């Protein structure tokens, strides 16, 4: 899906737990997620902490989307 | 470490008044077994049935398969740390009721249990169509949570298998086989010119009922570690898995791991079988990195020349597999990986979710998406209604080409994914392109 959408000219950020798979399939902007059963959250955190975590992931993704890349890039921070 | 396995060949299973093994026949007192299982207050009802090779019988939904064994000499007892005390096993003598199996059956997750057909086309895809199966069908009390349910069925299966195994303790075995792993120094002196080869055994540990236990330790909470191959034969590793049936390693698969057996066959002849590194398949990327770093590190510490890596399950564990492969190769150690494929029904899609050029020697257990028709059976053990068959992984409720998996005449159209052991990644199955 990542590749097909990019082929249509729309940049994509892939938020993904298993970064190596994302690299293998050819995503260009990759944001590491939390864990396979809960990529965008962490049920072991409290409600407020989890909201902060989710917000930070989304912010990171939006930042990645607006960043120029010259090749496959993993946005660690 | 040295273990002698004594095979008592079982030719028939019958229910009887006295549980015993006599003249190659396993007699089982059903009421005794029921009483044993009902000790667990989570279990509401239990029944036992027998399924034999060639019969018109379908068993589903299957959770685990266990081979009845008993320690006769040496330390420890079967399923240490789980059913018995945690003392080290893998030495001395163990009796095996060869040809018999305990099959646990009952819906836990539903979509992640399997099908065993005792005859017909489906029988060719599961090794358990060739065993004499004592099938336990158990249901929990209402309101039991899934993980408590899984545990209850897992423990009941182990208890039953140990109880049956015990019947062979004082029976003379038909055949004895000895397996011995020298320590590293002795091994090097014994076979100075043979390549040093170890086995990296990957265990399914994704959590949420995808768990494997080693001496009672939930393997997802461990880093990669070393184990003697004979410990595995004594039930040190067991399945707590509710996961796609075709490529999960049942406890029976672990007990009879064919990679271990084949490596022992070659030991001292073409290779020096150094030992087994066990590692996990966790759901956090950091765990995947750490565990594969650790397998590679241990492979280097052991001074290996080569490694065989087997996977369990599919999808994200493909990444653990590739990480193990490329990190071990990077240490200058050759690898062969054993996996299976999800290449689509036409076989044209990418087989694994991950790949690397280092993975240049691959053995496959087959394409799990292959579609098969399983004819109707005269008898069903367990339940084969729409709630099971149409939701099982590999089955479908409404497929554009095939419709629903379960047909009116009781036949089933499914991907072989639904069949217990069909694409086993230890090479236990017999499928071949030849």
Residues of B serving a catalytic function are 242
Query: Could you read off the pLDDT of B46-78 as tens digits, one per residue?
Result: 999 999 999 999 999 999 999 999 999 999 999
Helices B317-330 + B285-301 axis angle, to 10: 30
Please list every residue in chain B whose beta carbon sits closer than 8 Å to the beta carbon of residue A34.
284
**Radius of gyration in angstroms for the set of CA atoms belonging to chain B, rounded to a whole number:** 21
Query: Could you read off the pLDDT of B29-47 as tens digits, one per residue?
Result: 999 999 999 999 999 999 9
pLDDT at residue A77 is higher than 90: no
The CA distance from A60 to A65, in Å, is 9
Which of B69, B394, B407 lies closest to B238, judged by CA?
A: B69
Q: Which long-range contacts (CB under 8 A, 24 or more apart) does B384-391 make?
A: B384/B58, B384/B60, B384/B115, B384/B410, B384/B412, B387/B107, B387/B110, B388/B60, B388/B61, B388/B107, B388/B110, B388/B113, B389/B60, B389/B115, B389/B414, B391/B110, B391/B111
* pTM reported for the whole predicted model: 0.94
Please list every residue in chain B whose beta carbon sits closer than 8 Å to the beta carbon of residue A35.
283-284
Report, as an integer, the average pLDDT of B263-272: 98
Domain borders along chain B are 2-418
* Residue A21: strand, helix, or coil: helix
* Residue B212: strand, helix, or coil: strand
pLDDT bracket for residue B208 (50, 70, 90): confident
Query: Could you read off the pLDDT of B228-250 as tens digits, one per residue?
Result: 999 999 999 999 998 899 999 99
The CA distance from B112 to B103, in Å, is 15
Of A19, A24, A37, the CB nearest to B285: A19
Which residues of B lie closer than 8 Å to A, measured between beta carbons? 206-208, 283-285, 288, 316, 318-319, 322-323, 353-355
pLDDT bracket for residue A52 (50, 70, 90): very high
pLDDT bracket for residue B388 (50, 70, 90): confident
Q: What does the pLDDT read at residue B95?
A: 98
Q: What does the pLDDT read at residue A53?
A: 95
The CA distance from B338 to B340, in Å, is 7
Q: Is the separation of the CB atoms in B411 and B297 below 8 Å?
A: no
pLDDT at residue B106 is higher than 90: no
Report, as an integer, the average pLDDT of B188-210: 95
Report, as an integer, the average pLDDT of B330-357: 95
Q: Residue A23's closest chain B neighbor by CA?
A: B354
- Higher local confidence (pLDDT), A3 or B172: B172
pLDDT bracket for residue B407 (50, 70, 90): very high
pLDDT bracket for residue B109 (50, 70, 90): confident
Cis bond before residue B61 (omega within 30° of 0) = yes
Q: Alpha carbon B207 to chain centroid distance? A: 17
Q: What does the pLDDT read at residue B387?
A: 86
Domain that holds residue A47: 2-74
Q: Alpha carbon A8 to chain centroid distance? A: 20
> What is the phi/psi pair of residue A55, to 5°?
-60, -40
Query: Could you read off the pLDDT of A14-51 as tens digits, one per residue?
Result: 999 999 989 988 999 999 999 998 999 999 999 999 99
pLDDT at residue B89 is higher than 80: yes
Report, as an integer, the average pLDDT of B184-203: 96
Torsion-angle region of B234 (φ positive above 0: left; ψ -120 to 50: alpha; else: beta): alpha
Q: Is the separation of the CB atoms in B243 and B420 below 8 Å?
A: no
Please work out, in degrees rounded to the nearest 5, the angle formed at the alpha carbon of residue B229 by the alpha carbons of B212 and B294: 65
Is A37 near chain B, with CB under 8 Å?
yes
* Residue B80: strand, helix, or coil: strand
Picking from A19, A23, A24 by the largest number of B CB atoms within 10 A of its own CB, the best residue to mutate is A24
Q: What does the pLDDT read at residue B229?
A: 98
Q: Residue A16's closest chain B neighbor by CA?
A: B285
| B132, HSE (Cβ side, Cα atoms, 13 Å) | 18
Q: How many domains does chain A have?
A: 1
State the CB neighbour count (10 A cutoff) for residue A42.
14
| B90, HSE (Cβ side, Cα atoms, 13 Å) | 18
pLDDT at residue B430 is higher than 80: no
Q: Residue B350's closest chain A neighbor by CA?
A: A25
The CA distance from A6 to A25, in Å, is 13
């Amino acid at each position: 899906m990542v590749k097909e959408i990019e082929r249509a000219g729309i940049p994509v950020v892939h938020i993904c737990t298993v970064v190596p798979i994302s690299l293998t399939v050819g995503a260009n902007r990759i944001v590491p997620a939390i864990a396979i059963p809960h990529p965008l959250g962490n049920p072991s955190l409290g409600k407020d902490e989890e909201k902060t975590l989710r917000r930070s992931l989304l912010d990171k993704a939006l930042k990645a989307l607006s960043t120029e890349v010259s090749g496959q890039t993993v946005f660690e921070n | 470490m040295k273990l002698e396995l004594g095979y008592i060949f079982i030719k028939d299973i019958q229910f009887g008044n006295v549980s015993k093994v006599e003249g190659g026949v396993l007699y089982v007192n059903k009421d005794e077994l029921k009483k044993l299982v009902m000790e667990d207050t989570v279990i509401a009802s239990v029944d036992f049935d027998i399924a034999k090779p060639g019969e018109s019988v379908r068993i589903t939904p299957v959770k685990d398969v266990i081979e009845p064994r008993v320690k006769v000499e040496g330390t420890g007892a079967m399923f240490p740390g789980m059913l018995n005390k945690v003392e080290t096993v893998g030495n001395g003598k163990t009796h095996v009721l060869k040809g018999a199996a305990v099959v646990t059956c009952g819906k836990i997750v539903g979509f992640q249990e399997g099908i065993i057909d005792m005859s017909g086309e489906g029988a060719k895809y599961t090794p358990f169509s060739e065993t004499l199966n004592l099938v336990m069908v158990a249901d929990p009390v209402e309101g039991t949570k899934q993980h408590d349910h899984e545990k209850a069925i897992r423990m009941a299966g182990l208890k039953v298998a140990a109880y049956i195994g015990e019947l062979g303790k004082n029976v003379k075995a038909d055949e004895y086989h000895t397996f011995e792993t020298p320590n590293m120094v002795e091994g090097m002196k014994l076979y100075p010119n043979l390549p040093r080869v170890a086995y990296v055994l990957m265990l399914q540990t994704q959590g949420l009922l995808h768990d494997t236990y080693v001496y009672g330790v939930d393997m997802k909470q461990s880093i990669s570690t070393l184990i003697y191959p004979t410990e595995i034969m004594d039930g040190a590793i067991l399945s707590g898995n509710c996961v796609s049936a075709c490529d999960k390693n049942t406890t029976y698969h672990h007990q009879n791991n064919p990679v271990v057996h084949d490596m022992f066959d070659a030991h001292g002849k073409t290779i020096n079988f150094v030992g087994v590194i066990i590692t996990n398949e966790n759901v956090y990327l950091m765990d995947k990195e750490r565990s594969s770093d650790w397998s590679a590190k241990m492979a280097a510490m052991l001074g290996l020349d080569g490694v065989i890596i087997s996977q369990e399950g599919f999808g994200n564990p493909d990444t653990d597999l590739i990480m193990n492969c490329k990190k071990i190769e990077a240490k200058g150690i050759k690898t062969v990986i054993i996996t299976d494929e999800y290449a689509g029904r036409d076989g044209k899609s990418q087989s694994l979710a991950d790949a690397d050029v280092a993975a240049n020697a691959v053995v496959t257990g087959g394409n799990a998406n292959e579609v098969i028709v399983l004819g109707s059976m005269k008898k069903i053990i367990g339940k084969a209604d729409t709630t099971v068959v149409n939701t099982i992984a590999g089955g479908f409720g409404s497929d554009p080409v095939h419709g629903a998996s379960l047909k009116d005449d009781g036949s089933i159209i499914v991907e072989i994914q639904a069949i217990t052991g069909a694409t086993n990644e230890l090479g236990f199955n017999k499928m071949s392109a030849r």
